[in-house]
Structure 1
């Protein structure tokens, strides 16, 4: 995957997403963005309560804007979803969140609080 991100993207992603990835010339940045998109798509499919086969990744697009990631599909649910990408410090791991937005586009911001917990030893707030 590391060396052939675009061929995997062409297999699983929408045309819009493949076009976005092809504009990234740095191979490491392209790989990271591929992984972010994958986790965002997984979060959306799980939020719908569907599996990969019931909602193939190439049937909808998640588009990166200047400030966020947004769902772009030919359904009325556009704008009804919020996404958050959490990048774990000093690693190439990401956690993504997808929630239904009851307030619509531009509504209340998502507030995510992250704790690092070692049971019975430590509980440390690591997000702002």
Structure 2
């Protein structure tokens, strides 16, 4: 995809300064949108320089303070992805540069809508996750959202079982111990970790406010963790607090998917308790790969997104 021919880069950068970012329709109820960037696919320094102009002065300072070109590039693309993705859902009437953000008391970023943003959805929710090879921004309307992406081939610094004993709840540890083979344990550990990250991010409290050991990820159909259920899909994933914990609730909906054969993506969204157990509880998911202002590719219908569980 990149590097682009020099004449094509020039033409696209002329359009870059214009309000030509394609808009996107708002997600429907029980639907999440995921926009992804692969940093390795963007190699043109002039485009990165143009992207830097989108950031706020504070964001620029933070990006430039990061040591290492790779980490600096990922931080830049993460902020650009958030700003351009949000702009799409305002029909691009709000310039990506114009967004202001605030944090809740636990540090989760939110859009700080301005008085002149009349007619735009203050209920627009977003969340960001990234690895060194993929950056993702999740979007929902009305319902809080948390997302996490992890590389399928990620190699934990310690053994899977030692990490599980340290961070996971007893039923999850028992499940991992029941699996044969270190590769199976590693894959299921990554899936569980991704789901748990998405949950604490949807809560908006972070790991310190919702320790992983305080809740269990289960499949509703069996009430226990069964690997086959994770692979066949169609089963709603549920969360159960291990003990009475005032910050943890069960009215959340989960989905797990595989993206471009290289990453797991977990989505957690708030759910109306009155809808629990109904067929339409399964989430809908649309996924795009993007290089903002350059190229958008819908992955949802291309076979690049494999539904694992919780998705219609």
Q: Aligned equivalents of 1:22 and 1:89: distance in 2? A: 29
TM-score scaled by structure 2?
Answer: 0.37
Distance in structure 2 (CA, Å) of the matches to 1:69 and 1:3:
27
Count of residues in Structure 1 that have an aligned counterpart in Structure 2? 126
- Structure 2 partner of 1:114: 287
The reply on whether 1:97 has 2:267 as its aligned counterpart is yes
Q: CA deviation at 1:90?
A: 2.5
Higher alpha-carbon Rg: 2
* 1:67-122 alpha-carbon deviations (Å, 9 max, x no partner): 242212256943x111111212232x222110111122325221110011123332
Q: 1:44 aligns with which of 176, 193, 199?
A: 199
Counterpart for residue 71 of structure 1: 239
Question: Unpaired runs of 5+ in structure 1?
Answer: none
Q: Distance in 1 between matches of 2:198 and 2:284?
A: 17
Q: Secondary structure at the match of 2:261?
A: coil
Find the aligned partners of 1:22 and 1:2 in 2 and give their Cα distance.
19
Q: Choose 66-75 or 113-122, whichever is displaced more.
A: 66-75
Alignment match, 2:33 = none
| 1:112 counterpart SS class | strand
Q: Give the SS at the match of 1:53.
A: helix
Give the structure 2 partner of residue 124 of structure 1.
Answer: 297
**Cα pair 1:71 1:81 within 8 Å, conserved:** yes
Show the counterpart of 2:253. Answer: 82
1:33-81 CA-to-partner distances (Å, cap 9, x unmatched) read: 1111111111111111112111110000002453242212256943x11
Structure 2, unaligned runs of 5 or more? 1-155, 223-228, 230-234, 302-312
**CA distance in 2: counterparts of 1:83 and 1:51, whole angstroms:** 17
Q: What is the CA distance between 1:2 and its match in structure 2?
A: 6.6
Root mean square deviation, CA, Å: 2.1
Q: CA contact under 8 A between 1:2 and 1:31: conserved in structure 2?
A: no
Q: TM-score, normalised by structure 1?
A: 0.85
Could you say if the C-alpha distance between residues 101 and 13 of structure 1 is closer, same or farther in structure 2, counting changes exceeding 3 Å?
same
Which segments of structure 1 move beyond 4 Å, counting only runs of 4 or more?
Answer: none
